[in-house]
Structure 1
Amino acid sequence: MHTILPFFLAMIAAIVLLNMWATKLKIAYPIVLVVFGLLVSFIPGLPVVKINPDLIFFIFLPPLLFEAAWSISFKEMRRWWRIIGSFAFLVVFFTALAVAVTANYFIPGFTIALGFLLGGIVSPPDAVSTGAVMKFVKVPTTTSAILEGESLLNDASSLIIFRFALIAVGTGQFVWQEASLDFLWMVLGGAGIGLLLAWIFVKAHKHLPTDASSDIALTLIEPYLMYWIAEQFHCSGVLAIVCGGLYMSNQRMTFLNSTSRIRGYSVWESFVFILNGIVFLIIGLELPEIVGGLRSEGIPLGTAIQYGFLVTGILIAARIISAYAAMIATIIFRPAVAPRIPSVRRRLMMPLLLGWTGMRGVVSLAAALAIPITLENGSPFPNRNLILFITFVVILLTLLVQGLTLPYFIKYGHVFDDFVDEEKEEDVRKEVKQKLKQHTYHFLKTKHESELNSHAGIERILKHWEEKNQTNNTDWMDEKVKAVLFEMLESQRKFLSELNKDISMNEEIIRHQLYQIDLEEERLRMI
């Protein structure tokens, strides 16, 4: 413990410093962390990083998926559910199938079941890597919503493939009838348990006398409970977290107060950042042990690298083919929802861009490490070290090749030039603020008109919203004025929630404005 603890503290310090360096270089921090972990792994004398395969899913995935579900726009997911669903399920299955067939044909000793196991591991693109890359480029809200929604759901679909393939490898057989029933139970049961538990958690937050600290503490344990309980019923714990997280995210304005939301945002941002950083460092640090496992099995390193390159090429090709197939299907069957791109060249470039966003990361590593070392009969799990090595090569190549080139592809390919006028994000932001000002002024005028001439503080509120002048003088602030202001802020939240129902409204802007209202409420509480 005394040797491991300083090592992990050094890991966290390195994550923070490398993130600052990556931001300065304008490179996605997962790329820098993986390369750094790889370089550090060759330093002699460092402790070997080992994680119990049975705990890898339980430690990292629940909070990462829960936070992702809270961050995504549910409205945008509903709007683009067809393409999100096709990429999250059909494309993942097609990719896993392509990897399974290729591995079975080209890699000695790989059965179709082992191929599907590898395919389920490497098929889901990583949301963290894509999000980190997208920070440095400007993309339309539509594109980012599709990528975020896909990355949230494809984790569930790929891990379901992984689980069934693991059973097939262990038992040596695959019964389609039983598998179909198990699949339905995993999907429907996981989603149902997640929604039920989320509803219970929302009620608990509402009716228990919680404060900000206890609210945040509860949100930290809730994803673990969703995952654990769903797994006890042999359902998909990942789907339970995704569905439960989406439900709670949609209800966050009703069961958490402004203090809990503001403080919780900071806590979760730091917590998830550290978890992601540790995982990407582990990706690099695990390489020497994986290579040692290959040597013990007599597999030449050069041959294993060739297999990694082969699988990576299949993944990229399968995703690009799927993106073009989705575009063609949309134009034929749903032309009304197809993006309006006047340029033929840019229309052809868009699927290529979506296909090029398939960086792999946290989920692939977690799934690979979760492969048991031995089968139930005690024999070694076949080709475990080779699967781990191929997964490592896939993650490294997609992060370096696609991750480093994607920003330049977007910037110099002029893929989104035609979307500039459609977005008008700054205009939308100004429009929301102007509508909010009008609503606030109308609310005060109609709600408290009888008190305008009898109370100097309320009259000053109205004047403040008429002129929008800031003042440091708070002598006029008493409990009556605070009550009016709190009521006004709650009215603003309700107005923005109604405004967000407009399908054309950018939810990210609405959330930003709601966050500003929370900050204003906290400022009032401190006066």
Structure 2
Amino acid sequence: MHAVETFELVLVLLAIVIGLSWLAQRLRLPPSAALLVGGGGLAFVPGLPHVELDPELALAFFLPPLLMDGAYFTALGRFRRHLPGILSLAVGAVVFTTLVVGVVAHWLVPALPWAACFALGAIVSPPDAVSARAVLQHVRLPRRLRAMLEGESLLNDATGLVLFRFAVAATLSGVFDAGDAAQSFLVLALGGALVGLVAGGVWILIVRQMDDPMLILAATLMLSWASYLAGEALHVSGVIATVIAGLILGWYQHVIFPAGVRLRAGAVGGTLVFVLEALVFILIGFSLRGVLDRLGGIGAVAQTMAVPVMGVVLAVIVARFAWILGSDAILALLQRLGLRRARPLGLRQGVILGWAGMRGVVTLAVALSLPAQMPGRDLMLVTAFAVIFATVVVQGTTLGALIGLVRPRDLDPPAKLSLYQAEAAMARVRNALVERHAVGPDGTVIHPQLLEQSRQRLRSTERFAEDAQASYPRMESHFALLQASIEVARAELIRIHRAGLIEDEVLHNLERDLDVEEMGLQFMLET
């Protein structure tokens, strides 16, 4: 395909992404599901070119910035608190699912070597960070479940990739050493963490020397790919390197980024993540065409592979439930025996956690990287697509309804301070500073208006924090009036600009002030 035609195809895909995302919002569906189905349908439209994802390029291009974004917004305190549960999912559940799928695949296709069956299990076992993020941002979950799902999706790819590499090597060579595999996993994980720490430290040193917001944003964007590619170049886990660097970025950005950079980073990062996530899912759908054409069409695939494919899809879902509910039963038993640190999730939370196991770009990229001489390669490719479609489309679209039906409880203790109490604490220290500097040495008030505004803000925030529930209706009316005042101010600003009474620079500066004020109001209403 000519370079200009490739560019035109990308533009067409972006237009389709926007249309499908808008349709998903109107239908209240997860955009990932709409994009996946839409991409699969469009792949068979006559005249459209064949699109195939290069597996190494897909992992290197799409995965790092999306992993970085997920790590950036990870609540580090909850991540540390629930790390045992996260590791149980990211390592234990992946290994268990690999074994279960391997046994089921060998039972359904006895001619397939055991090592190849376990390679298939490794391909479909790790839930995907991209898919999890795409679905979770549209549902409300208890804090503990969200922390576990987000943490799992950040770390489990490393487990799946290690299992896959050893299973493929065992299939082609006929030799497998479990001790060697465990040692390799530790080297990859610890080495990736070290690379991520170094990459994050270098980023801090570089950004602290910069003043230009554009340079800071560019260096920050480069961090995701730099950490991933550095890890892969050193033959350790690029996934873990990217996650660790992202956690460092999320922790230190509060003290390194100026306010203006943070505002721009939110806009730039949000747009980039939306485009990359959307393209990933629509390209997964597009890639299905090439696989089906090579196998003789969808009819031939359904006739020869339907039973083993459906068996593996069911095995993937059942294995996750078995691991989660089984582990939770053990925790409940330990708690009854007096182990206070054992904190079972409970049946409601376990059901939600079990159903939220969406697969995506990593499963597809790993499947596409299978060697041509791999036994059962075609079956593995079709199965990978089936697992992605089943988990994203079926589980992703029904997760919200299941949450409403099951009503999981938030068992995590709330933080000591609420949003409004934290705001009152900030108002107190701000007022204390103004009180010290608003009065001169002779007792004369130097800044009377500023002092009165500070005292009024402190009184309002403390009064609201004391009884936010009773004060909220009055505050909501207050915000609605402020929103209306911003809208009339913006209309007047545009009117006087259209009349030629102010310069463009004045329009942009005042409009930015109104936008920042409106964003602050929207944030207060949402929280």
Tell whether the structures are fold-level matches, with TM greater than 0.5: yes
Distance (whole Å) between structure 2 residues aligned to residue 423 and residue 27 of structure 1: 30
Secondary structure in structure 1 of the residue aligned to 2:4: coil
- Give me the CA root mean square deviation: 3.0
Structure 1 residues 445 and 166, CA, compared in 2 at 3 Å: closer, same or farther? farther
Candidates 27, 33, 36, aligned match of 2:35: 33
Q: Could you tell me how far 1:388 is from its partner in structure 2?
A: 1.3
Q: Could you tell me how far 1:422 is from its partner in structure 2?
A: 6.7
Which position in structure 2 is the counterpart of 1:454?
Answer: 446
Candidates 417, 434, 456, aligned match of 1:444: 434
1:264 lines up with 2:255 in the alignment: no
Distance (whole Å) between structure 2 residues aligned to residue 420 and residue 123 of structure 1: 28
- Which one-letter code corresponds to 1:206 in the other structure? R
Q: Could you tell me how far 1:267 is from its partner in structure 2?
A: 1.0
1:398 lines up with 2:391 in the alignment: yes
| 1:12-411 matched pairs, under 5 angstroms | 12-207=14-209, 209-295=210-296, 300-334=301-335, 336=340, 347-372=346-371, 374=372, 380-411=373-404
Distance (whole Å) between structure 2 residues aligned to residue 360 and residue 393 of structure 1: 10
Distance (whole Å) between structure 2 residues aligned to residue 450 and residue 384 of structure 1: 81
- Which one-letter code corresponds to 2:6 in the other structure? I
Q: Could you tell me how far 1:389 is from its partner in structure 2?
A: 0.9
Distance (whole Å) between structure 2 residues aligned to residue 132 and residue 58 of structure 1: 19
Q: Could you tell me how far 1:33 is from its partner in structure 2?
A: 0.6
Candidates 9, 12, 15, aligned match of 1:10: 12
String of CA shifts for 1:293-345, please: whole Å, max 9, x gaps. 3339x97432323222111111111111111122122223355456699xxxx
Q: Could you tell me how far 1:214 is from its partner in structure 2?
A: 1.1
Distance (whole Å) between structure 2 residues aligned to residue 411 and residue 53 of structure 1: 37
Structure 1 residues 465 and 49, CA, compared in 2 at 3 Å: closer, same or farther? same
Distance (whole Å) between structure 1 residues aligned to residue 388 and residue 151 of structure 2: 21
Q: Could you tell me how far 1:466 is from its partner in structure 2?
A: 4.2
Q: Could you tell me how far 1:212 is from its partner in structure 2?
A: 1.3
1:465 lines up with 2:466 in the alignment: no
What TM-score, normalized to structure 2? 0.80
Structure 1 residues 65 and 456, CA, compared in 2 at 3 Å: closer, same or farther? same
Distance (whole Å) between structure 1 residues aligned to residue 245 and residue 101 of structure 2: 31
Please identify, of 433-442 and 225-234, the stretch whose mean Cα deviation from structure 2 is larger. Answer: 433-442
Unaligned runs of 5+ in 1: 342-346, 375-379, 473-515, 521-527
Structure 1 residues 428 and 337, CA, compared in 2 at 3 Å: closer, same or farther? farther
Q: Could you tell me how far 1:96 is from its partner in structure 2?
A: 0.9
Q: Could you tell me how far 1:93 is from its partner in structure 2?
A: 0.7
Identity %: 32
Unaligned runs of 5+ in 2: 461-477, 487-515, 521-527
- Which one-letter code corresponds to 2:370 in the other structure? I
Structure 1 residues 329 and 306, CA, compared in 2 at 3 Å: closer, same or farther? same
Are the equivalent residues in 1 in contact too, given 2:144–2:411 (CA < 8 A)? no
Distance (whole Å) between structure 1 residues aligned to residue 56 and residue 253 of structure 2: 32
Please identify, of 435-444 and 1-10, the stretch whose mean Cα deviation from structure 2 is larger. Answer: 435-444
Count of matched residue pairs:
461
Q: Could you tell me how far 1:141 is from its partner in structure 2?
A: 1.6
Distance (whole Å) between structure 1 residues aligned to residue 412 and residue 389 of structure 2: 37
Distance (whole Å) between structure 1 residues aligned to residue 46 and residue 33 of structure 2: 23
Q: Could you tell me how far 1:62 is from its partner in structure 2?
A: 1.0
Distance (whole Å) between structure 2 residues aligned to residue 120 and residue 447 of structure 1: 64
What TM-score, normalized to structure 1? 0.80
